[in-house]
Amino acid sequence: MEYTTLGRTGLNVSVAGLGCGGGSGLGSKQGKSEAHSVAIVHQAVDLGVNLLDTAKAYGTEAIVGKAMQSLRRDQLVVSTKSSPLKDGKRLSAAEIVANLDQSLRDLKTDYVDIFNLHSLQLKDYDYAMNELVPALLKEQEKGKFRFLGATEQGPRDLNHDMFLRAFDDDPFDVIMVAYNMMNQNAEDTVFPETRERRIGTLIMFAVRAVFSVPGRLQQDVAKRIENGQLPGWLADKENPLGFLIHDGGAESVIDAAYRYVRHQPGADVILFGTGNPDHLDTNLASILKPPLPEADTARMRELFAHLTGFGLDFPAWRKADKPTQSN
């Protein structure tokens, strides 16, 4: 495993972080047993992963808490989250603190390393800063969490508007950004700011359905061709990203997806989620490989740098949510 310093937090973190939500929820969303999900956490830690990212909304805090009972807490970096909203209504400061306390109980720990405002949207940013953040900072002083973070709602914030607003205030030590090899705009907008301000940056959406579900990439590329956003010749390819797979290049599209984001300056930790032990091994192997060939990376930017929102799907358990129209 390789490790890096998570911005100004000073935390020493693995470059691969175990995402405990997404479509699998450590396998819990796919009907796997609690013991199976706990074993996934242990497998990741055995392979050197020390950052575990969960959330109240994921329903996996108790699983992570159980897994941690046989692990050394001081060797883990635990990140969890609470949305500032419930059923579309803003939470009060007391309610957000109550969520933090419940997360600590479910995780069976006295503190978390990072507590995030989850899926914070621009429309709720000022409320969060004026009402929620002051209350959370008081809890931070009590030792309930070490660093304050925020995650964006990628499918509804295609241009990272919330973070671009937040950079003026610089309230967050850690942020989580939606970024993948065909949704590249964070490279020009978010990463220059996080690098200058030394904000720890976690990457989500590196691989979702668009790269992992058979036929999905072709389907989504065809939509962009129809809308005039991509060249028509891509429709003639059985695999529109097949040019990435060659000797000296990627072994698969998923391999390419992880390697592209992993080696981008500004991407500290690449989150991956799975309930499959074999996939866990291969995902980690890809994240730890060298960068893609420079020519392949350049071609990806030439073809796709103008796209926004590509591959930013809500997980299946949130299928009622509709993403913003991508460009």
The set of catalytic residues is 58
- Beta pairing class for 12-14 and 3-5: antiparallel
Residues 6 or more apart whose CB falls under 8 angstroms from that of 273 comprise 18, 19, 20, 21, 22, 23, 24, 25, 26
Q: What span, in angstroms and rounded, lies between the C-alpha atoms of 78 and 262?
A: 20
Q: What span, in angstroms and rounded, lies between the C-alpha atoms of 268 and 86?
A: 30
Query: What's the N-to-C CA distance of the chain in angstroms?
Result: 36
Of 90, 127, 76, 109, nearest to 100 (Cα)? 109
Q: What span, in angstroms and rounded, lies between the C-alpha atoms of 86 and 246?
A: 47
In three-state secondary structure terms, 90 is strand
Main-chain phi, psi angles of 171, to 5 degrees: -85, -15
